[in-house]
Structure 1
Amino acid sequence: MAAASGFVGAIFGTPSDIANIRMQNDRSLPIQHRRNYKHVLDAWVQMKRHEGWRSFTQGLWPNCFRSGIMTASQLASYDTFKTLLQKWTSVSAESPIIHISASLLASLVATSISSPMDVIRTQLMSASKRVSVLRIVTDLTRSEGYRWVFRGWTPSFVRLGPQTIATLVALEQHKRIYRIIKCGGDEP
């Protein structure tokens, strides 16, 4: 279910991702190739005007697979790390220390697993014309070797780490409050 929710969420988020990536990449382009989007709505208007509706789906499938893989690995590894930390320590299962530690470890796994797809989708979304995934992988491997697989890993982790911790700690607190209200206690 985590993979499916990440996949479906990316379908709706892809146009915003494309605009975001293009706006971030704009300054690295030669002046004559810059898009000069003012904001996301301006980006969408210009994308439709200059490239057509297909531009809103550039990199859609790699973005969906990346989001599905990231969400599934994030949630599955969180549960695994939470169980292992509870087993290896004497800390309570409901301790924020367990939740924060398991979340941090889960964000390491999710960032590492989704990194290659993140690089590919960024290349697809920033391109001015349609290009295949195979062409991107071939070009990246030829120019950088296999190091491209973890290009941008650190900024991705810096973004995903705190987001994962906040999301999963909030989820645990939500579950705790639900148990108190529904079951009349803190026990599952």
Structure 2
Amino acid sequence: MRQLTYSTTRFGVYEELKEVFQQGTSQPSFPALIAMSSTSGFLGGIAGNPADILNVRMQNDAALPAAERRNYKHAIDGLVRMVREEGFASLFRGVWPNSTRAVLMTASQLASYDVFKKELLTRTKMNDDIYTHFTASLMAGFVATTVCSPVDVIKTRVMSTRTKESIVTLVTRITANEGLIWMFKGWVPSFVRLGPHTIATFMFLEQHKKVYRKLRGYE
């Protein structure tokens, strides 16, 4: 559910914006790519927020005492119960840190992939093939994990808590208790998850675009 809402929106909007603003055969500039990916990431973050909340809550349930567990049967049950028990606004709890994270993720992942791919093709003897796509996507995964780590920590704590606490108060409290190291807590498992995910995503996307262009007669 999360990928159907969040990823579909951000990838779809980003590719559409690139087509709209591309001039001839020249690629949009790096600042333009950042702006496009940030816009698509923001919209994707809003679209995927309800599913993201469910994802966080269902993963954290096992770590809670039995009396505090939500015990959602599945994603649809979770959505229905959230609206019934907490109101419609609960679907967008933490939407700002989530959208901020989506902006950072999309900008660092999509824009950096395009830049890395362009630089590899320009500065090395690599061709526009699966090896270049793998290398560029691996580098993009590293960048995205590092950039998004602080927001990931905040987003997870905001969405999993049962108490209402402002983001400023939360950041102040965890910085005082844990130091600045909190920003990169869980970086390794995040990269283990995001690295292969980024590689698979872009390699599939490149093949999808190749098939699409052939079917449309663009090449």
The answer to whether the superposition gives a TM-score over 0.5 is yes
Partner deviation per Cα, 1:51-89 (whole Å, 9 max, x = no partner):
222221111111011111111111221122223323443
The answer to which of 55-64 and 39-48 deviates more is 39-48
Equivalent position of 2:75 in the other structure: 40
Aligned counterparts of 2:213 and 2:70: Cα–Cα separation in 1: 51
Aligned counterparts of 1:111 and 1:58: Cα–Cα separation in 2: 23
The alpha-carbon deviation at position 105 of structure 1 amounts to: 0.3
The answer to which of 70-79 and 28-37 deviates more is 28-37
Equivalent position of 1:86 in the other structure: 121
Give the alignment's TM-score, normalised by structure 1: 0.87
Partner deviation per Cα, 1:114-152 (whole Å, 9 max, x = no partner):
111111111111111322111111121122111111112
Aligned counterparts of 1:83 and 1:51: Cα–Cα separation in 2: 47
Equivalent position of 1:28 in the other structure: 63
Equivalent position of 2:45 in the other structure: 10
Partners of 1:22 and 1:126 within 8 A in 2: yes
After the TM superposition, which residues 154-165 of structure 1 pair with which residues of structure 2 at under 5 Å, given as runs? 154-165=188-199
Aligned counterparts of 1:183 and 1:120: Cα–Cα separation in 2: 44
Structure 2 unaligned blocks of 5 or more: 1-35
1:133 matches 2:155: no
Equivalent position of 2:147 in the other structure: 113
- Structure of greater relative contact order (alpha carbons < 8 Å, 6+ residues apart): 1
Aligned counterparts of 2:77 and 2:146: Cα–Cα separation in 1: 33
Amino-acid identity (%)? 52
The answer to which of 147-156 and 100-109 deviates more is 147-156
The alpha-carbon deviation at position 183 of structure 1 amounts to: 4.1
Equivalent position of 1:99 in the other structure: 133
Amino acid at match of 1:135: T
Partner deviation per Cα, 1:1-53 (whole Å, 9 max, x = no partner):
22211211121211111111111111222222222222122222322233222
Partners of 1:77 and 1:106 within 8 A in 2: yes
1:59 matches 2:98: no
Equivalent position of 1:143 in the other structure: 177
